[in-house]
Homo-oligomer: A and B are copies of this chain.
């Protein structure tokens, strides 16, 4: 029997980085299919961007020196020799000549600056220039944006809309990305029945974690295999876990991780393969009974059965494991909301507490109102907008203090002053309840 001790969050995060390996499966996709995928290769610019000198304004392509000294009272007089058309070769201009050029148009050979339309006047085939242009003015030079061969995006980067634009610009139309990680979810517990069960027998409750964790994994670009529910019977549990384990890159089991007579999760995890259980218990609340294991090169995770705890641990721990599979070395910024805390929150030193909060606007400020509820209340989950962390070395937070709220937001959106802050959830809990948090 191994000896397990409860781990600190930071220790667990370090262990995730050090212990689990990234996926070996990759695939090639077009830019139309690449959103949200994670690069499996560094990307270098295939060519200079722009590929030619371009005008940044509507104006007249000129040799700058032909305009030196030009002013309102003493214009330069140039010959206007035509217009440059978008997407067409631009030809050239000789000294003292000019061509009309639209924004984005290609600079003609011999020209090195653009005079804006408002600083010039066409008089028949003559152009009066009323302001001198410096060499390079209103021009982007070939390769000024990105140079051929330049490193543009790194392996492990999740492709956002703007990145796809950069890839299109540099002439990369297909990219090598990590295969979507396949994640299996198995829910355990004698009382747990599938969510689609119409009529519950006494004592039964529907499986919640399968759908919440499954959706959270989908939001990260994983493919989910729903393993369903299994009773606390070792033989059956092991068989079902082994079957699912064979098909996935990461196996998540929820429930059965509290200390109890029917806790087979550790045994099942150990039976799946070496090295077995690595972490048994993390010093966070909720979420303490979390188990991390590794069987062969695959991570196997045991999450608390309680839906609130499972989702908080997903956010804090499982998210990092999935990112590890992608070799994601960088992360988007955490879209935290700054809010003022509506009441004092106590915490046990040495443990990080995560308290669910609802966000409310009061006098133009955003306040974080702790949503308390007895351990089993599901409604508090959707009724809250996110969690506030009380870090381990801290002894609590004070009323009125500015805190960061880690929002349960899986896609970004914009909220304006006028908009409703309550979310779509109608069953708001009443005044702060006094029973303990999850």
A interface, over-half SS? loop
Asked whether A332 lies within 8 Å of B412 as measured between CB atoms, the reply is: yes
- Given contacts A56-B374, A106-B202, A165-B211, could you give 10 more A-B pairs where the C-beta distance is less than 8 Å? A32-B211, A36-B410, A52-B202, A57-B375, A145-B376, A145-B379, A152-B382, A154-B425, A319-B414, A410-B411
Residues in B whose Cβ lies below 8 Å from that of A385: 333
Residues of A near any B CB (own CB < 8 A):
13, 30-32, 34-36, 39, 42, 47, 49-52, 54, 56-58, 85-90, 102-106, 140, 144-146, 150-154, 156-169, 171, 173, 189-193, 195-196, 198, 200-216, 218-220, 226, 231-232, 258, 260, 262, 305, 307, 311, 315-316, 319-320, 323, 329-338, 359, 374-379, 381-382, 385, 406-416, 419-427
Closest to A310 in B: B165
Residues in B whose Cβ lies below 8 Å from that of A34: 215
Asked whether A189 lies within 8 Å of B86 as measured between CB atoms, the reply is: yes
Copies in the complex: 2
Asked whether A171 lies within 8 Å of B36 as measured between CB atoms, the reply is: no
Asked whether A145 lies within 8 Å of B378 as measured between CB atoms, the reply is: yes
CA A159 – CA B329 in complex, angstroms? 29
Asked whether B157 lies within 8 Å of A31 as measured between CB atoms, the reply is: no
Q: Do A162 and B413 form a contact, CB below 8 Å, given A157-B423, A332-B423?
A: no
Q: Do A406 and B411 form a contact, CB below 8 Å, given A160-B215, A336-B335, A382-B166?
A: no
Asked whether A410 lies within 8 Å of B160 as measured between CB atoms, the reply is: yes
